[in-house]
Structure 1
């Protein structure tokens, strides 16, 4: 983890308002130091210097994260916090991450302002608008809507925040809502989040009917708008149908290989290969209890990198990146609280695993890319290979998708 970026001016979320007056004053989790630092990397002086150089000199992009801060006491405060519709952004943690851009997948599966079910149209717009109000009152994070924004952020020592959504459930059967989301700044969107919707099937369903006729219309509109498409939570057949129907390459922003860990939450290598053959990229996932491996069943950086090395062999390093899917706070506790919304049981199926309190080495957005790059440095990857997986592969797709 790095020292805070020079351009970060200690801004805290919604500090232009008064906590306890304008919104509830809820104790929040630490953005830095919530759990012990990762001890699994043993870098010598030269390797540490190279890791820091690669992290600061390169454009570094997280293809999928949730850089929000969550309450310290999830059991007592989480519901009240979410119902306020005012989630805090972890500015301090992001300023220490070394990232140039983060695809912020706002928490709309658990955005339960008006409904326990999440994914409601008005709640999603509320969530996006409130977050943009916060961004407008500071100048370290810039709203990322183009590659020019990302490159400018890197040149200026700042960070671009790209709004993304894990599913298009909230558009219901209104394809024009995609245009409205694009107007709000959304630049990446999923098809379905585990549960089936008007577009297609999610990964939790017993059967997968594939992309619907409306889903085909929606994918066509996404292509026309310049919305990057994410298949991470979509069913296998729906994913294959999207890959075939889309005129542009697509992402799996946060998952891993089902051949390494056999759960619904992972994608079969055959589907990953189909995506790669059309030019797409997979981002390696690190949310708790997802990218486990037989060699490292206690979820850690090493578990995730077992998926990385496998997929480099399967599709080539030019189709692999990272979408850690982390947040600031107790991610395991959040899963426990919202297991129904997040389809935790159906995603894991009947595969047994030993529950961990956090993912060691990839616990939050502040530490992920230092440890990822450090691992790549210690395992002999070249500067060009590292640059490709931390941003180059993503940029190649965005150059085609974002116009």
Structure 2
């Protein structure tokens, strides 16, 4: 059992509860552990420029899980079943982020193998908000003004989101309820089909359903950002066409760069950009590989970035790394039967290398400093860097949120 005296930073969350008494606690990963070799900035001038870019501008992660994973993956079952999720707040404050779109684990099972239901979502959301309310230097962002205020005050803003709308079942009013409780971004569908549309695991792509179109209309009306990261190709295109407002692909890559179902074809990327939307480049293990870099690293991830810029224009590209604190690759393997990695990560006969971590983009602390460093080293202008680090997302939110 975890000893608070041994690792005081591991359990920053829920300071008002008694660990092991009010909830079943498992030992958590060391949030400061690093394996990446990538260094942001090759000299003092460039490192100073990176520091300035992060300090003076709004920097937004379009999709991350800033929670800690278990130290021992034998505890994975208990970890998934717990609704108390533990955030590495001290580490996150060192990340240089203004805001993070915080998407929790409800899509991969908790009390139910098939994924969370409505009561699971509401309970976890309430617990999450209670934890955030007891943290210093943290705000929950419900408006663009909240994000700008966080940047001014040196705080970290959490944008509440969920990767799937499956939990609303066939109840449109639940969208309003979630908005009222602080949800500002929602994926229409995770890997498997739901009442709104088809996911990336489906062999037959049925596209957006009639109910899904009504849900899109309601999300537009209430001011909630629509995300199609895990939706099928047809569902993505249908949602882009049906939405009166721009939509987001908060965490994905380009299928032209690496041909797996988890990535988006150029047709979807172009349609998203033409309607004013934004793509966040994914970095979770074994997703954004490339033909030129078949062992995933910051280099393969940036291959997707450069392709997306060519297809969509730099004003429509951002970053949604989709990372955690702990051994992400081992966690991914431990839950592969739930998230369907055998299908959405299937590259057919192509040879590629499994990695223990994504070098340069291992967790939320290092991500944006290293991304800024890569962009500086590759000759991007300050205005281009500030756009992809957060400016493009801020523009999109200004068009969608109320």
Structure-1-length-normalised TM-score = 0.95
CA distance in 2, matches of 1:130, 1:112: 15
- Aligned position for 1:29: 29
Q: Distance in 2 between matches of 1:153 and 1:249?
A: 24
Look up the SS of the partner of 2:397 in the other structure: helix
Alpha-carbon shift at residue 12 of structure 1 (Å): 1.1
Equivalences for residues 4-403 of structure 1 within 5 A = 12-32=12-32, 34-39=33-38, 41=40, 43-74=42-73, 76-113=74-111, 115-351=112-348, 352-403=351-402
How much is the aligned-residue C-alpha RMSD, in angstroms?
1.5
Residue deviations 1:171-194, cap 9 Å, x none? Answer: 111111111111111100011101
Distance 2:47 2:39 in 1: 14
CA distance in 1, matches of 2:90, 2:24: 21
Runs of 4+ in structure 1 displaced over 4 angstroms? none
CA contact (8 A) 1:12 1:91 kept: yes
> How far off its partner does 1:25 sit?
3.4
Partner of 1:4: none
SS in 2 for 1:142: strand
What is the Cα deviation at residue 343 of structure 1?
1.5
Conserved? CA contact 1:85–1:111, under 8 Å: no
Distance (Å, rounded) in 2 between the aligned partners of 1:20 and 1:309: 47
Q: Report the more deviating stretch, 11-20 or 34-43.
A: 34-43
Deviation at 1:311, TM superposition (A): 1.2
TM-aligned CA deviation for residue 11 of structure 1: 8.5
Contact 1:11 1:138 (8 Å CA) reproduced = no
The answer on whether the counterparts of 1:111 and 1:124 sit within 8 Å (CA) in structure 2 is: no
Deviation of 1:223 after TM superposition, in Å, equals: 0.2
The 1:11–1:84 alpha-carbon spacing in structure 2 relative to 1, beyond 3 Å, is closer
Deviation, structure 1 residue 110: 2.4
Contact residue 270 and residue 312 of structure 2 kept, 8 A: yes
Deviations 1:215-267 (A, max 9, x none): 01000000001010111110111111100000000000000100000000000
Q: Distance in 1 between the 2:396 and 2:341 partners?
A: 30
Q: Tell me which residue corresponds to 2:3.
A: none
C-alpha separation between the residues in 1 aligned to 2:109 and 2:87?
Answer: 15
Which sits farther off after the overlay, 152-161 or 333-342? 333-342
Unaligned runs of 5+ in 1: 1-8
SS at match of 2:323: coil
Equivalent residue pairs, number = 392
List runs of 5+ in structure 2 lacking aligned partners: 1-8
Q: Deviations over 1:117-165 (max 9, x none)?
A: 2131111111111111111111221111111110101111101000111
Aligned equivalents of 1:212 and 1:84: distance in 2?
33
